[in-house]
Amino acid sequence: MSGVKGHEPVAKGTIENKGDKPAAKGTVKGKVKWFNNAKGYGFINKDGDSEDLFAHYSAIKMDGYKTLKAGQAVVFDIIQGPKGLHAINIGNPVDVLNTDAPAVQQTVTA
């Protein structure tokens, strides 16, 4: 699995539970709090939670330049890092929804 070097999830969709935090299961939705392009990191908040989750550019799984914008909606997995929770496998919610949605066929008649 990929993610932040040295901080791999125990299993897909779970986080290692080191401490008082409950383990999160599955990909979660959230919004980018802020991201510094020059430093390559920032923070994300899970929807409905104000706790900051560390986000490193290497954990971004989107095409193109690895950056995030404040307020951007994202989906991600959570792991326990040495100093707190980390967001990994960060992607666009639309990309995740499209891979799970059934194909829709439309017929156009003239």
Fold adopted by 1-110? OB fold (Dihydrolipoamide Acetyltransferase, E2P) (2.40.50)
**Alpha carbon distance 97, 110 (integer Å):** 32
Domain ranges of the chain: 1-110
**Alpha carbon distance 75, 11 (integer Å):** 17
Q: What is the pLDDT of residue 94?
A: 80
**Alpha carbon distance 56, 95 (integer Å):** 20
Q: Could you tell me the mean pLDDT of each successive run of 10 residues in the chain, 110 residues long?
A: 46 40 68 97 96 97 93 96 95 68 58
Give the model confidence (pLDDT) of 86-99 as tens digits.
999 999 988 655 55
